[in-house]
Amino acid sequence: MGFHMTPNNIEIGRLSREEKLRVMEAIWEDLSREAEQVESPDWHREALDETERRLQAGRESVVDWPEAKKELRKRSP
C-alpha cells in the first residue's frame, strides 16, 4: 500500500482513492468487531429516528448495502 505511517502521522494524501477506501473498510471492519464498546452519540440516534419516520411516511426507500456501495462508487471519479 502506498502510505507511510509514523506514530503521529499517516500520509494519506499519497493514497489513491481506491487505497483510501480499502483502508477505511479495514478500519471499519476492525472497529465493528468491538461494536458493543462504542457508544453511539445522541445525534446519531436522532438521525436514525428521523430516517425511520421518513420511511414509515413513504418518503424514504430502502436500498441494500451492496447496491448502495455500487451507486456511491458510480458517483465518485
- In the chain, where are the structural domains located? 1-38, 41-77
The predicted pLDDT at position 42 comes to 94
Percent of the chain with pLDDT over 90: 51
Of 34 and 64, the one with more pLDDT? 64
Residue 26 has pLDDT above 90, yes or no: yes
Distance CA 43, CA 47 (A): 6
Question: Does the pTM exceed 0.85?
Answer: no
For residues 16 and 71, what is the distance between their CA atoms, to the nearest angstrom?
20
Which single residue is written with the C-alpha cell 477505511? 24
Kindly state the cell numbers that stand for 50: 428521523
Q: What span, in angstroms and rounded, lies between the C-alpha atoms of 34 and 31?
A: 6
Task: Tell me the Ramachandran region of residue 49: left when phi exceeds 0, alpha when psi lies from -120 to 50, beta otherwise.
Answer: alpha
